Structure 1
Amino acid sequence: MSEGQTFDLVVIGGGINGAGIARDAAGRGLSVLLCEKDDLAQGTSSRSGKLVHGGLRYLEYYEFRLVREALIEREVLLNAAPHIIWPMRFVLPHSPNDRPAWLVRLGLFLYDHLGGRKKLPGTRTLDLHRSPEGAPIKDEFQRGFEYSDCWVDDARLVVLNAVDAAERGTQVLTRTACVSARRESGAWRIELRDSRDGTKRVVAARALVNAAGPWVADVIERAGASSTRKVRLVKGSHIVTPKFWDGAHSYLVQNDDKRVIFVNPYEGDKALIGTTDVPWDGAPDNVAIDDAEIDYLLTAVNRYFKQPLRRQDVLQTFAGVRPLYDDGKGNPSAVTRDYVFDLDTSGGAPLLNVFGGKITTFRRLAESALQQLRPTFPNMGPDWTAHATLPGGDIEQADMPHFIARLQREYLWMPRDLMRYYARTYGARTAQVIDGAASLAELGQKFGPTFYEAEARYLIAHEWAETVADILTRRTKHGLHMSADQIVAFDAWFGSKLDTRYDGAARSALEANRAPSTHPTR
């Protein structure tokens, strides 16, 4: 076991909250280590509904502060990462058997005005029998509403926060678990274990942040601490089907139990449908959708749409465990999505435990977490992330159509669908991904419709991708568009070409504490 460095801050948990906190802290001048027992975003943060939204239904539970904060953050994030976050219109067919129309319209009025909306269009009322958005909806539903929120690539949002943190000096250790932590001589002594080979390492920190999400209580125990606060685990499951309507808009449908289900366009020709709210008592690692949830989601959709969905239409499923702060409410849908901190300074060196939160408010959560730690770091820098872009997001006026048009002029040899994919995934860092290529042949072997060798090498060298699933499921969604034979071919390339998964650039990054290179090119 090696005794290692001393950091200002060690953050446990490589989901959106942990990555966001590490980025914020590094930008304030603190020395930071971020450790994650699996891959970045492997848990809850890659299994969300993939929306940056205020949470329209939270208004029913009088969560006005949370909704307002989320609506404000919606536009902050839209400016910070316009390549992976973009506006989306949501159509809400109205059923007179559920919430009255006046109540829905009042909620949407509040939704339009609570957060100082600037960029997104407001609500409008639809005649579903006349408007194209109503074409796939059953004739019994005549009235509807359309409002704005945003789509996000959730797993990439986590990775980009980690990349930004690393480029500001953070050591990012994936597949590295916190075995134990204890206070010693006014600091934290933290034992880490590399899950690849079992190697153990000890580091010290002036403060420890527990952003382990569903595993927050486990980390508290490993730190020999206690907390009066509790986390409540709620499973949310989604299904993926072929897309069954025309247009780029989404639908929000009310089930007969008054829960709402999102029906979103996904990866071009598919639909993402969710989510459920089911109490979860098992291990977070073992979460999976069950048959009752699939039936629940299909029933909700089939209540409104003319084209019925069947079990055989389900192409893929995924489930995640939301680590909600336990506010004592019985109904899982009513449990707050707000975040709560528990700051323990009883032993000198602070332990900050993070409970709850949602993707939309991660930046504000991170900012608040650092404010909690200011007494320990009085000389750290001020709040800074509200006006900063994430890697690839430094696009003039966050104008993606203009940016894509510029790329098309610059790379005349590149097919339009591939150009759009790179722009929507890597933004202003597209040039780094293609690494000087001037033709499709120079991008290397083609594995899928828009998936070439150059991108895989970039993800291994710069974004901690170490397995096929890291690339095909989290860093990208190529796996949804590849045949079984193509996935096998990529797996073979991944093993043979990269010498057990790491070529020169990737191996150097791993040996340097697995932080990606900060150079613009390899």
Structure 2
Amino acid sequence: MNQEWNAAWREQMLPTLADENWDLIVIGGGISGAGIVREAARRGWRCLLLEQRDFAWGTSSRSSKMVHGGLRYIAKGQWRLTRDSVRERQRLLDEAPGLVEPMSFLMPHYRGGFPGPRVLGGLLSVYDALAGRRSHRFHDAQQLRFIAPGLKENDLIGGTSFVDALTDDARLVMRVLSEARADGAVVLNGLRVAQLLREEGRVSGVAVEDCESGETLHLRCGVLAVATGAWAERLRPSDSPRQLRPLRGSHLVLPGWRLPVAQALTFLHARDRRPVFVFPWEGATVVGTTDLDHREDLDHSASISGEELDYLLAACTQAFPAAEVTAMDALSTWSGVRPVVGAAGAHQDKPSNETREHVLWQEPGCVTLAGGKLTTFRPQAIEVLKACADMLGRAFEDDAAPVFAAVQPSLIPGLSPQQWRRLAGRHGRDLPKLAQLIAEVGQETVGITDTLWAELAFACEAEMVLHLDDLLLRRTRLGLLLARGGEEHFAAIRTLCQPRLAWSDGRWQAEIQRYRLLWQRDHGLPEITP
């Protein structure tokens, strides 16, 4: 694997792409596309992944960060989805410690409320049975005063806890892509597929525009896999029925000290009885999520609305009335669009009632993945590749091999075991290179976050950063965790990163201006009208 995976390498690689007759081209650099190219590369396929914007730019950096089985899917009778999810959750916990970590979830029970302890306990017994281990227990109201201080106590009778997991979704994508590249895959961002090429009624390749230079390439492949999430219908034949129902989920990020929680709290919002969460993430506290039809242009980033902000603040007041959280407490927001496959008459039904099951759409030479979940990216990838293998006339089976190579246990001098675990989880095979940069740059973290300055340096040198938002919103999450997107650190970031990115002073200024506008639009607070 070429560790210097950066803009200079990209420039050298682009002219060579058309010389290859690829076995597989994957369109989409989110978790679904990453999973597909990872499994294909491991099997020796000559494969290429193309992402129009940046890796994890869409839903895969804007999810609720939860690697979970989906407890509510049991109540809806979606047994297969829940079973697959809890199995994959455990796989990820075992294979990627430090990146996917267990998290205790707590649901409080109030007198006369639903679900009560018995109903929830019954659902969790099934959940635990599917997972093969018991993780839930009931706590009385007295215990909750210590477990969840500040929780509304009026009519509180207790709470039920269970275990799921949290992740940094964008880093999960990068780790999977790193594994694919180690097995020979070519992975590129900033390349827009403008058109599918067809020969004798079969998809045979793609016409691609380089979003950085405007140049066009024509690439050939044996089979094409489309994994573009909410954009999955863009490349389908025009006479195909429209089935996707884009649903927006928005989140509010608060400083950890402003609403401190030791575990994830889940409860039903008083306004619409939808489950919402308040949970610790990367030293901050996240409140989410909403669930409503996203009717805006998908080519523009989703952003929180005033109504959604009010909804999430009301959730804070409902669960923690004494905290008196307001909009001015927010560090940032994020909104993602879920690629949900709508059922018949879906737009007359509640968004939260939609299934999170995935489907495959096939035409000769092309397989499109629609729908699905973050947690089940691996079995979804296997299903896509089985269909692709049939089109290529190849044998294929799921050997259930690990997604991630094991990280050799070692300690970086001066870092705690907890810091090493975090870095090993996020960087995997790249840890030796990162260790060299830690020795060069030092062990200091950026502000109050856990992110090392060396991680910024590493991203600039070896993680295909094309724009400043790639660095601050996806390679690291500083733009979400620091006030005003990290503005107080811009001078230091420039000193460290501008030389490594080989940007001129003019380019840096243009990137700063672009980032400020993007952050305010996509991650700031909406305009609040009196």
TM-score, structure 2 length as denominator?
0.83
The answer for the alignment partner of 2:249 in structure 1 is: 236
CA contact (8 A) 1:235 1:320 kept: yes
CA shift, 1:105, in A, is 1.8
1:362 aligns with 2:381: no
CA shift, 1:193, in A, is 0.8
1:430 aligns with 2:446: no
Equivalent of residue 292 in structure 1, options 301, 304, 307: 307
> Aligned in 2, Cα 1:195/1:492: closer, same or farther, shift over 3 Å?
farther
Letter matched to residue 64 of structure 1: W
> Aligned in 2, Cα 1:335/1:51: closer, same or farther, shift over 3 Å?
same
> Aligned in 2, Cα 1:194/1:157: closer, same or farther, shift over 3 Å?
same
Q: Distance in 2 between matches of 1:325 and 1:442?
A: 47
Q: Distance in 1 between matches of 2:500 and 2:189?
A: 22
SS in 1 for 2:375: helix
SS in 1 for 2:314: helix
The answer for the alignment partner of 1:336 in structure 2 is: 355
The answer for the alignment partner of 1:323 in structure 2 is: 339
Moved more, 99-108 or 252-261: 99-108
The answer for the alignment partner of 1:106 in structure 2 is: 122
Q: How many residues align?
A: 475
The answer for the alignment partner of 1:475 in structure 2 is: 475
CA contact (8 A) 2:148 2:262 kept: no
Question: Identity of paired residues, percent?
Answer: 31
> Aligned in 2, Cα 1:273/1:447: closer, same or farther, shift over 3 Å?
closer
Matches within 5 A, 1:394-413: 394-395=406-407, 406-407=410-411, 410-411=412-413, 413=414
Matches within 5 A, 1:171-210: 171-184=186-199, 188-210=204-226
> Aligned in 2, Cα 1:109/1:218: closer, same or farther, shift over 3 Å?
same
> Aligned in 2, Cα 1:147/1:193: closer, same or farther, shift over 3 Å?
same
Moved more, 21-30 or 478-487: 478-487
CA shift, 1:426, in A, is 2.6
The answer for the alignment partner of 1:490 in structure 2 is: 493
> Aligned in 2, Cα 1:98/1:300: closer, same or farther, shift over 3 Å?
farther
1:25 aligns with 2:44: no
CA shift, 1:467, in A, is 2.2
Q: Distance in 2 between matches of 1:419 and 1:77?
A: 18
SS in 1 for 2:214: coil
CA contact (8 A) 2:209 2:215 kept: yes
Matches within 5 A, 1:117-266: 117=133, 122-131=135-144, 132-140=146-154, 141-184=156-199, 188-220=204-236, 224=237, 226-228=239-241, 230-243=243-256, 244=258, 248-256=262-270, 257-266=272-281
The answer for the alignment partner of 1:71 in structure 2 is: 86
CA shift, 1:474, in A, is 0.8
Matches within 5 A, 1:502-521: none
Letter matched to residue 330 of structure 2: V
Question: Structure 1: any 5+ residue segments left out of the alignment?
Answer: 397-402, 502-522
Letter matched to residue 185 of structure 2: T
The answer for the alignment partner of 1:514 in structure 2 is: none
CA shift, 1:383, in A, is 2.1
Letter matched to residue 9 of structure 1: L
TM-score, structure 1 length as denominator?
0.84
> Aligned in 2, Cα 1:169/1:6: closer, same or farther, shift over 3 Å?
same
CA shift, 1:442, in A, is 4.6
Q: Deviations over 1:425-446 (max 9, x none)?
A: 33564332021754xx654997
SS in 2 for 1:232: strand
Equivalent of residue 499 in structure 1, options 498, 502, 512: 502
Letter matched to residue 60 of structure 1: A
CA contact (8 A) 2:98 2:422 kept: no
> Aligned in 2, Cα 1:4/1:252: closer, same or farther, shift over 3 Å?
same
> Aligned in 2, Cα 1:343/1:113: closer, same or farther, shift over 3 Å?
same
The answer for the alignment partner of 1:59 in structure 2 is: 74
CA contact (8 A) 2:60 2:173 kept: yes
Equivalent of residue 280 in structure 1, options 274, 291, 294: 294
CA shift, 1:416, in A, is 7.2
Q: Distance in 1 between matches of 2:39 and 2:58?
A: 21
Question: Structure 2: any 5+ residue segments left out of the alignment?
Answer: 1-13, 505-530
The answer for the alignment partner of 1:456 in structure 2 is: 456
Letter matched to residue 214 of structure 1: A
> Aligned in 2, Cα 1:197/1:387: closer, same or farther, shift over 3 Å?
same
Q: Distance in 1 between matches of 2:422 and 2:36?
A: 29
SS in 2 for 1:373: helix
CA shift, 1:279, in A, is 0.4
> Aligned in 2, Cα 1:452/1:313: closer, same or farther, shift over 3 Å?
closer
CA RMSD of aligned residues (A): 2.6
The answer for the alignment partner of 2:95 in structure 1 is: 80
The answer for the alignment partner of 1:399 in structure 2 is: none
CA shift, 1:498, in A, is 3.1
The answer for the alignment partner of 1:515 in structure 2 is: none
CA shift, 1:246, in A, is 5.3
Q: Distance in 2 between matches of 1:332 and 1:74?
A: 24
CA shift, 1:252, in A, is 0.6
CA shift, 1:454, in A, is 3.7
SS in 2 for 1:130: helix
> Aligned in 2, Cα 1:181/1:207: closer, same or farther, shift over 3 Å?
same
1:7 aligns with 2:13: no
> Aligned in 2, Cα 1:362/1:492: closer, same or farther, shift over 3 Å?
same
> Aligned in 2, Cα 1:23/1:420: closer, same or farther, shift over 3 Å?
closer
> Aligned in 2, Cα 1:216/1:53: closer, same or farther, shift over 3 Å?
same
CA contact (8 A) 2:176 2:403 kept: no
SS in 2 for 1:352: strand
